[in-house]
Amino acid sequence: MPKLYAKLLVVFLLTTLFATAQNTQDSPIQYLLKKAEDAIQKKEFKEALDALEAAELVCPSCLTPHFKKAMMYADMNDFKSAEKAMKVAYKINPRNTNNIWYAVLIDCKKGLFKEAITTVQNLLANETTEAGIKNWNRLKSIVLTRELIFEENKIIAIVAKGNNAINDYDFELALHYFDSASNICPNCVEPHLRKIIAYTELKDFDNADRELRAASVLSYGETQVNRYAAIIKERKGLLDEALVDIQMLIDKDTTTRGQANWLGLKAELEMKNKRYVEAYNDNCKIYSLNPRQKHTLYLMMLHEIHTNKNEELAAHIKEFTLENANIDAARYYYDKGYLYYELKDYKTSLSNFEEYLKLLPQNANGLSMRAMTKVLSDSTADGLTDANLAVQLRPNSADVWNNRGFVKILMGSYTDAIGDLTKAMILNPKLTNAYNSLGYIYYKIGGKENYDKALLNYNKAMELGGKDYKPYWKYKEAIIGKKG
């Protein structure tokens, strides 16, 4: 009884307060259902449940509160509670056709589309009225649409896993995910395009060409196919040919969007091949076409930092604001954090990574960067909590292992850092900074054998980084001096 009185009190307070505070024509039940719907939209499920239970008390014979409760539970994947709510509705009025409607929709939430379609087909087979046939055909259309959306979302999730595997340099795993996506949706273009990237990284150009042909058959336009054709050429070592092809596309597509798209690809390939000046010039062209492209401005500023274009950098930093930016807030804060990291303003860098992690608290790269900037800002700070979590979240990422090793060096844990840096180099043998950091550890440990190892790693870092590489740890001259 106390529980019932408490619920009745909730009803009384909600309805009375609403009636006195709001000028509305809604009945108490309408108000409570609207309140529940608003809470569901905001994913405030407890508030929604309170409103729906209050609605049940206000109108014990109404089915809508039970239907809404069932769908809310289904959204939460609590199908046991959803079925319980449906049983209550059925008990109130077993002849109401909405019982079947919502049961079918819950099957869709479970992914049971074959069962849902079978139910609707049986209803259509036994329906004799025009209104009934129209009703069940409408439900059939909803089921088919939801099945399509469900499959598309499944494909998107699988492709995202494949993309993560590419970022972690696990190309075989990436191919596994992309093949799974192709099997689920044979007519989807994206899995074929992403397989091209994995195959080219593995230097398997026959399969890359095969996927390009498959994509060209399925694609509704030439843009993506031309893009990946240029990428394949660049991966084969035919960069100049790829750039000629892209320039032809730039000349052909005079739209602002087209120009920006092809210039962006050109700059990307130039950056990858250390043609930094050409990439910078192309990014400047993109930015002139659309000053809202703040990520392009970020790429320009990175070049300006590394080439001491201080005047241009000062002007561009003023333009690098979130307002009117064609970029999401998280990307903006990450880019800004990295810019100030490169400028060695670690406190400003840290504050931007803090903002980034408010939006994406489980992002491994953000955690990894915050770990480094914490310790660089304050040598007594704890950087390992973030660094450890980053490794847990992305154990196959060379970058997060390298960054945790870097944090350990900053904290003086040289021996512990060796394992992290070695793991990073196993995952990505071309990770320049890992060699630089490992060499620094051997230099700090000291001794002839370790000095030799330090020089070996330093020289490897310089070889991989090229003439524009600026190592964080500079110890070569010191070693040469010690070796005399």
Instruction: Retrieve residue 132's tokens.
Output: 């009934």
Q: Is residue 406 part of a domain?
A: no
Backbone angles phi, psi at 142, to 5 degrees: -65, -45
Instruction: Give the model's pLDDT for residue 20.
Output: 43
Please tell me the predicted confidence (pLDDT) of residue 17. 46
Q: Over the stretch 129-175, which tens digit does the pLDDT of each residue have?
A: 888 899 889 988 888 888 878 877 888 899 999 998 998 888 999 99
Burial of residue 323 (CB within 10 Å: 0-12, 13-18, 19+) is: exposed
Residue 300: is its pLDDT beyond 90?
yes
Rounded to 10 deg, the angle between the 329-342 and 294-306 helix axes is 10
* Angstrom distance (rounded) from CA 148 to CA 113: 10
Q: Residue 85: give its domain's CATH number.
A: 1.25.40.10
pLDDT digits (tens, 9 = 90+) for 83-130: 999 999 999 998 898 888 899 999 988 888 889 999 989 988 888 888
Determine the pLDDT at residue 21: 41
> Looking at the domain assignment, is residue 97 inside a domain?
yes
CA dihedral for 129, 133, 134, 139, sign (positive or negative):
positive
59-84 tens-digit pLDDT: 888 888 999 999 999 888 899 999 99
Q: Is there a domain that residue 107 lies in?
A: yes
pLDDT at 3 over 60: no
| Dist CA 437 CA 472 (whole Å) | 8
- Tell me what the mean pLDDT of segment 216-227 comes to: 80
Distance of CA 94 to the CA centre of its chain: 45
Which residues touch 248 (CB under 8 Å, ≥6 apart)?
none
Residue owning tokens 């990175």: 302
Counting the structural domains of the chain, the total is: 1
Return the minimum-mean-pLDDT range out of 28-37, 187-196, 318-327, 357-366.
Answer: 318-327
**Domain membership flag for residue 120:** yes
In angstroms, the Cα distances linking 135 to 95, 97, 123, 128, 131 are: 15, 10, 10, 12, 6
User: Can you give the residue range of the structural domain that contains 90?
Assistant: 2-149
**Number of Cβ atoms within 10 Å of the Cβ of 266:** 26
**What pLDDT does residue 358 have?**
93
Q: CB–CB of 439/453 below 8 Å?
A: yes
* pTM: predicted TM-score of the whole model, two decimal places: 0.68
Per the model's pLDDT, the better-predicted residue between 361 and 26 turns out to be 361
- Could you give the CA distance from residue 235 to residue 251 in angstroms, rounded to a whole number? 23
- Of 342, 383, 345, 390, residue with least CA distance to 365: 390
Distance between CA atoms of residues 417 and 432, nearest Å: 16
How far apart are alpha carbons 381 and 6 in whole angstroms?
Answer: 50
Share of the chain above pLDDT 70, in %: 93
pLDDT band at 398 (very low <50, low <70, confident <90, very high): very high
Q: What percent of the chain stands above pLDDT 90? A: 54
39, part of any domain: yes
**Tokens (6 digits) for 23:** 């000028």
Q: Is 63 within the bounds of a domain? A: yes
- Please report whether residue 482 resides in a domain: no
131 in a domain, yes or no? yes
Q: What 3 state SS string does the chain have?
A: CHHHHHHHHHHHHHHHHHHHHCCCCCCHHHHHHHHHHHHHHCCCHHHHHHHHHHHHHHCCCCCHHHHHHHHHHHHCCCHHHHHHHHHHHHHHCCCCCHHHHHHHHHHHHHCCHHHHHHHHHHHHHHCCCHHHHHHHHHHHHHHHHHHHHHHHHHHHHHHHHHHHHHHCCCHHHHHHHHHHHHHHCCCCCHHHHHHHHHHHHCCCHHHHHHHHHHHHHHCCCCHHHHHHHHHHHHHCCCHHHHHHHHHHHHHHCCCHHHHHHHHHHHHHHHHHCCCHHHHHHHHHHHHHHCCCCHHHHHHHHHHHHHCCCHHHHHHHHHHCCCCCCCCCHHHHHHHHHHHHHHCCCHHHHHHHHHHHHHHCCCCHHHHHHHHHHHHHHCCCCCCHHHHHHHHHHCCCCHHHHHHHHHHHHHCCCHHHHHHHHHHHHHHCCCCHHHHHHHHHHHHHHCCHHHHHHHHHHHHHHHHHHCCCCCCCCCCHHHHHHHHC
Mean pLDDT in the chain? 88
